[in-house]
Amino acid sequence: MKLPRRALIASAVVAGAAAATRGQGVEDKPFADHKLALQLSDWTDAARGLIVSVPNNLLAVYGPDSIAIEVVTFAQGVRLLYAGAAERSHVDSLVSQGVRFSVCMNTIDTIARQTGRAPDLNPHAIKVVAGVARLLELSAAKYTIVRP
């Protein structure tokens, strides 16, 4: 059975994004009892507040060695990882406690095409090809996905 060209191209893009994302290393805390991925794809005051408070609360409850947390940003959520974001000090503090922050480069590329310039990013941001592909990878690694 011959697949249509569009289906082949779409399959190649998804496989390529997943392969490129895999290199980011899901298991940086192999002995963590809990694994959490937080999805940030919108830019409301409530989402911004929760995306900082939830990791802080969980680190206080479980301790930084017992929980692995990654915040995955895409769409409007990538603003959290702009170099000049108001939340920068909170992000940097969480990074120092072992929380990872991923930024979707598909979104950043779209912003660059629309504005003529890619935004400067927080140097702690882990660049991933696709935010949703990263969430799928984390889910496969038994991370619980939460969208606060």
61: domain range? 5-24+32-146
- pLDDT interval class at 7 (50, 70, 90): very low
- The answer for residues whose C-beta is within 8 angstroms of residue 75's C-beta and 6 or more apart is 41, 42, 104, 107, 131
Higher pLDDT, 23 or 132: 132
What residue spans of the chain are helical by DSSP H?
Answer: 5-22, 45-62, 88-96, 105-115, 131-140
CATH of the domain at 107: 3.40.1260.10
Report whether pLDDT(20) > 60.
no
Instruction: Please tell me the total count of domains within the chain.
Output: 1
- The mean predicted confidence, pLDDT, of the chain is 87
Lowest mean pLDDT among 7-11, 36-40, 45-49, 128-132: 7-11
- pLDDT interval class at 24 (50, 70, 90): low
Each residue of 86-141: pLDDT tens digit?
999 999 999 999 999 999 999 999 999 999 999 999 999 999 999 999 999 999 99
